[in-house]
Structure 1
Amino acid sequence: MSVHHPEYTGYLMVHFIGEQPDGEQVYFSYSENGLHWKDLNGGLPVLRSELGEKGARDPFLIRSPKEDKFYLIATDLRIASGKGWGAAVEAGSRDIIVWESADLVRWSEPRAVTIGVPGAGCVWAPEAVYDEAADEFLVFWASATQGPDEQERKHKIYSSRTKDFRSFTPADIYIERDSHIIDTTIIAHNGAYYRFSKDETTKNIVVEKGASLDKSSFVPLRVPALESLFGVEGPQIYKLNGREEWCLIVDRFAEGKGYLPLLTSDLDGGEFRVLPDEAFDLGKTKKRHGGVLPITGEECARLLAAFGDGHQVLPGQFADPDIAKFDGRYYIYPTTDGFTGWSGTAFRVFSSDDLRLWKDEGMILDLATDDVPWAVGSAWAPAIATKNGSYYYYFCGKLPSGQSAIGAAVAETPVGPFRAMPEPLLTMDQMKRLGIAMGQAIDPSVYFEEDGTPYLLFGNSHGAIVQLGEDMVSVLEDTMANIDGLHDFREAVTVLKRGGLYHFTWSCDDTGSEDYHVNYGTSDKLYGPVEYRGTILAKNEEKEMLGTGHHSILRDPDSDQYWIAYHRFVTPLSRFTEGKGFHRETCIAPLLFGEDGLMQPVRL
């Protein structure tokens, strides 16, 4: 039976962090590119073992190809208990610790399974690989054993087979060398298997290739970069998503530095290049011997919802979020980010029933196709509204002339399909004709007056407002005007009414600046003038939350709670050293009003 491989968009690393208290438990870290990592769960353990030695080192995670299930296995060892390495080698546990999960978030209780041979001094760094031909998992680990002709214990790699990580075949020797060998990992590619192990005598990594998983199938491969790299262990190798490139990480235990990545585009060629320090970021916790699993977008979203920093809600690069609630479900309509010069063309929509776990509902418009006849690209800053059972989507796009314009589309559901109007709704030529001060015709937001009259707010360099027609896809030009009093205005103006006041918010500075922020003011008139009240959303350097802006505000009709959706620079900040304004991620925070009836600054 062939194995189906879903589309992967991120990575989960499971690891331990050292011999300090709580260091020898299972930690999670998340990455979108496989090189820059975020600590999950606030840098605290996600899984703990109180079984056996009361520790879990060298965790490894594997996806079951025929079940909706994941298995996590780990070494039953805790050096911090004080027994020392001698006891760990010669009188350690013969068990592995096993967890199971269907979603990477909810995990079974751990169980200890004895797999080491009688007399084995330890069972270290268990890993597994799926054997498609046999329809079972090959599990392998290092044990220190002493044969009848050996003068002392020697580390060898043992293996066993299982279908369920409960019942295992008797262990036998899988790899034996003249010297000690530990920490084996295996990756499959193009019908072959590549095996990386630590030579415990030379303290470097050796590589082999096999046509099958049979122990006699493997032959050595020369990898000069690894032959000269000493003081490393715990190799892990994984394919980078969407690329014909692999990342090998090795734990620099001798220097106490944690993992070092090496890249190759040819597993057979043996040409690995060591990445410089500025090309990767392992997060705030030290990453010690663990495993890396490519994961889907849905799995990324679940991990962020369960173990994220409490701010970012959408995995990947999305900006300018417009948040809404229809029929009891929340929706976010963002800009698809990650393109130089904000040159993306596609719009997507996400939905959630709890504001934490978001589902990608797919693409709703693509400006690179005939979806929008008048536009040629630069899909920015959408907004959504509903009236009389239809849904109206407002968005920015570039005309063939290079000028930005605002268009409209309509659908019968919040997720489409949307049908775009053949001509733009607002253009710069229109602004000039009507005498409206404007830098670019961009960044729409929708406001309904208490009597149901709809308005569109928009603008760059100068904010403006106009009444929408009854059809929601036309404007009443004689109602268009600039809004006075938007202090330090750059773009993205919104308004809501509360307590008899109109509460205006808008973004300031440049979206590529770490100081991008949201200002606030009030007026007793929809058309202003606006009284400036201060900044309500600004960067928090300590938490690496920079470039916070281009927001939308939702009043939840079911709870009277207000929420602000906004973007920040992609984290970790080291991932992009230039062009951070093209690389942003979507966040949500509560928005509160004080006893004086005014918005309070958002706490990040």
Structure 2
Amino acid sequence: MSAPRARLSAILLAACLLFTGQALATPQGAAAADPGYLMVHFTGEGSTNQQMYLSHSTDGVHWNDLNGGGMVLRSTVGTKGVRDPAFVRSPDGSKYWIIATDLCIDCGQTWSQSINDGSRNLVVWESTDLVTWSQPRLLNVAGAIPDGRNAWAPEAIWDPAGNDYVLYWATNKPLNGATKHRIYYSHTSDFRSVSTPQIYIDRPGAQEIIDTQIVEVPSGVGNYRYVRASGDGQITLEGSNSILGTWTDLGDLSGIGLTGSQVEGPMWMKFNGANKWALYLDQYASSGGYMPVVTTDPSNPAAYQKQASSSYDMGGTKKRHGWIMNLTAAEESRVLARWPNTAANRLQSYNFQDRYVRHADFDARIDPNVSPVQDSQFRLRTGLTGSGAVSFESVNFPGYFLRHSDFDFQLAYNDGTDTFAQDATFRQVAGLADSTWSSFQSVNHPDRYIRHYAYELKLAPITNATGRGDATFRVTS
């Protein structure tokens, strides 16, 4: 081989090796990111804040409020308020539940009433897809506890040993006339009926325990299959190899300056793709909301590390005692599609411009001076029958939509049927009285439009100028 050809061959060989090395080091197209995390929580006191809210994170430490920071589920049962929610996912992923405390402080009960004569029920929602939820129902868990005064902060975990769920919560059963919350448990397979409650955790003497949450730890990390964190004057860590077996005291977080007088509501989260966990703690004493402490071994108190406030972001709403679920890609896609940050809007009447569409006792009409204003606020969702149309979801009764029934309008809970979707979906067209405004044409009765008649909302054909004015609205904030 001649010298020039040898040099050329060497150059081509080097180039091939270079490109081969780059091909081995560089992925062929961007790898799909791991799906993220979904937090269910409440946001504070009052009838609006003590409802169900959702937040999403892609990395587990930076959170975005879903649904524009508005509630996603509202309790219409019991005290009509909910706190301390927990997600439950069935082992096969075919069913989900949200369980929560039936409690509405400052909107029906004081703290003293709730402690001494509160609801013995939990509030339960059920779903098969994580986005379409049943109406809330009450589950009596503490009624069978002699002198049990309430039921707070529920949690549940699948127990392979019993082939069912261990449902656990705190109940005040006074000791010598003084408040004494202990953790009780029952077995359930469907969150509709429960076994007779038994004591699960009872601290010595007068010491109470209210919040506890269990995380399952993979083999090879620490010495225990399960670790639970509890608020009992400290944030106490315990380990066990079975949910209903013997639990060993592992210590607390006082060594990193966190005690039960400062924080409560422990909430576990495992980071995707790593043996690394965050234990979120609610800074209730300072009203600071949640903060994460991070560990690579949940069973070792010395392994926990506080995080700088600049390293996490809890989003626009305050996060109060909740639960975090690691999402699958399909779950994440459904959740983000169901609760985008759609603005809250009002529908202003064209010919009575001081009046707005509102719901009142689930009837739909136009009124001036609507109070609370949320009764006249709706999110214009992608139509329940599909794109190209809109459906009107109530802001303060999420899951409820404006729908016609016998051509009269009401605010009704979406039952997931095709009939409901058709009755609650409309094409937004140029205003019949003014093309700069809007009119809304029924998808299943296209000869009819939303209009008001004697201030009541109706679905009717439009045949004259009065009807065109009655059927014209401005979408406004």
CA distance in 2, matches of 1:152, 1:138: 28
For 2:49, which of 23, 31, 56 is the aligned residue? 23
Contact 1:8/1:295 (<8 A) preserved: no
How many residues were matched structurally?
Answer: 303
Where does 1:399-478 land on structure 2 (aligned, <5 Å)? none
Contact 1:12/1:30 (<8 A) preserved: yes
CA shift at 1:189, angstroms?
A: 1.3
CA shift at 1:205, angstroms?
A: 0.9
CA distance in 2, matches of 1:253, 1:29: 19
Where does 1:56-71 land on structure 2 (aligned, <5 Å)? 56-66=82-92, 68-71=94-97
Q: What residue ranges of structure 2 are gaps of 5+ in the alignment? A: 1-32, 220-224, 344-385, 390-477
Amino acid at match of 2:227: Y
CA shift at 1:21, angstroms?
A: 3.7
CA shift at 1:229, angstroms?
A: 0.8
CA distance in 1, matches of 2:124, 2:322: 14
Structure 1 counterpart of 2:228 = 195
Contact 2:64/2:314 (<8 A) preserved: yes
Structure 1 counterpart of 2:258 = 229
Structure 1 counterpart of 2:243 = 213
Larger mean Cα displacement after TM superposition, 58-67 or 30-39: 58-67
Corresponding residue SS for 2:269 = strand
Contact 1:196/1:207 (<8 A) preserved: yes
Contact 1:205/1:226 (<8 A) preserved: no
1:130 and 2:158 are equivalent in the alignment: yes
Contact 1:15/1:287 (<8 A) preserved: yes
Where does 1:341-420 land on structure 2 (aligned, <5 Å)? none
Post-superposition Cα deviations, 1:398-441, rounded to whole Å, max 9, x if no partner, equal xxxxxxxxxxxxxxxxxxxxxxxxxxxxxxxxxxxxxxxxxxxx
1:302 and 2:334 are equivalent in the alignment: yes
CA distance in 1, matches of 2:161, 2:198: 20
Contact 1:56/1:75 (<8 A) preserved: yes
CA distance in 2, matches of 1:119, 1:44: 37
Where does 1:511-526 land on structure 2 (aligned, <5 Å)? none
Where does 1:122-201 land on structure 2 (aligned, <5 Å)? 122-146=150-174, 150-178=176-204, 179-190=207-218, 192-199=225-232
CA distance in 2, matches of 1:48, 1:118: 31
Contact 2:36/2:59 (<8 A) preserved: yes
CA shift at 1:153, angstroms?
A: 3.0
Post-superposition Cα deviations, 1:336-390, rounded to whole Å, max 9, x if no partner, equal xxxxxxxxxxxxxxxxx8599xxxxxxxxxxxxxxxxxxxxxxxxxxxxxxxxxx
Structure 2 counterpart of 1:555 = none
Q: What residue ranges of structure 1 are gaps of 5+ in the alignment? A: 1-6, 312-352, 357-604
CA distance in 1, matches of 2:136, 2:255: 35
What RMSD, in angstroms, separates the aligned Cα atoms of the two structures? 2.0
State TM-score, norm by structure 1: 0.48
Amino acid at match of 2:37: Y
Moved over 3 A (4+): 223-227, 353-356
Corresponding residue SS for 1:81 = coil
Q: Greater share of helix residues, 1 or 2?
A: 2
Whose RCO is larger (CA < 8 A, sep 6+)?
Answer: 2
CA shift at 1:224, angstroms?
A: 4.1
Structure 2 counterpart of 1:35 = 61
CA shift at 1:190, angstroms?
A: 3.0
CA shift at 1:286, angstroms?
A: 0.2
Q: Greater share of strand residues, 1 or 2?
A: 1
Corresponding residue SS for 1:47 = coil
Quickly say closer, same or farther: Cα 1:224–1:73, change in 2 above 3 A.
Answer: closer
Corresponding residue SS for 1:181 = coil
Quickly say closer, same or farther: Cα 1:298–1:355, change in 2 above 3 A.
Answer: farther
Contact 2:47/2:81 (<8 A) preserved: no
State TM-score, norm by structure 2: 0.61
Structure 2 counterpart of 1:286 = 318
Amino acid at match of 2:239: K
